[in-house]
């Protein structure tokens, strides 16, 4: 083995940390709604209360189960598009930040998270 003993660990941490915004965006826009809809669909009753007719139209209404499935089907394309746009936005912002010349170097205090900035000439 060549190099410092902790070098491989640092590289792995850096790669994992770079994926964190994507993971958060997709967790909030894809995983959380998927779990929520699955729980709603599995727990919603499949009949209307008081014997009300089921279906769409003519004064009838969807059962809670069918309503959850219908709402999930309508919102899925919107959530997929939102997740893709969020990842694209993260990628563009990171790419622009990497290309921009940095005029300031900053470090954060580990306990407080406060930033100190030192300007370079």
pLDDT in tens, 86-112: 999 988 888 887 777 665 555 555 655
Tell me the mean pLDDT in the region 39-56. 85
> What value, to the nearest 5°, has the Cα angle with vertex 96 and ends 91 and 98?
95
pLDDT of residue 15: 46
Cβ pair 104, 120 in contact under 8 A: yes
The answer to whether residue 50 is domain-embedded is: yes
Is the predicted pLDDT of residue 12 greater than 70, yes or no?
no
The answer to whether residue 36 is domain-embedded is: yes
The answer to whether residue 77 is domain-embedded is: yes
Number of domains in the chain: 1
The answer to whether residue 99 is domain-embedded is: yes
User: H/E element holding 36?
Assistant: helix 32-43
CA distance 20 to 30: 15
CA distance 58 to 62: 12
| Domain residue limits at 109 | 7-119
The answer to whether residue 95 is domain-embedded is: yes
The answer to whether residue 1 is domain-embedded is: no
Tell me the mean pLDDT in the region 12-20. 60
Q: pLDDT tens, 72-90?
A: 999 999 999 999 999 999 8
What is the token pair recorded at 8? 């491989």
Identify the three-state secondary structure at position 102. coil
The answer to whether residue 97 is domain-embedded is: yes
The answer to whether residue 107 is domain-embedded is: yes
């Amino acid at each position: 083995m060549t190099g410092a003993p902790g070098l491989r660990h640092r590289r792995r941490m850096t790669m994992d940390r770079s994926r964190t915004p994507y993971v958060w965006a997709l967790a909030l826009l894809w995983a959380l709604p998927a779990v929520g809809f699955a729980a709603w669909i599995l727990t919603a009753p499949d009949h209307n209360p008081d014997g009300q007719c089921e279906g769409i139209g003519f004064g009838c209404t969807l059962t809670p189960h069918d309503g959850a499935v219908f709402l999930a089907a309508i919102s899925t394309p919107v959530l997929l598009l939102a997740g893709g746009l969020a990842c694209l936005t993260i990628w563009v912002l990171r790419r622009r930040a990497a290309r921009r010349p940095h005029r300031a170097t900053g470090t954060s205090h580990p306990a407080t998270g406060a930033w100190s900035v030192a300007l370079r000439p």
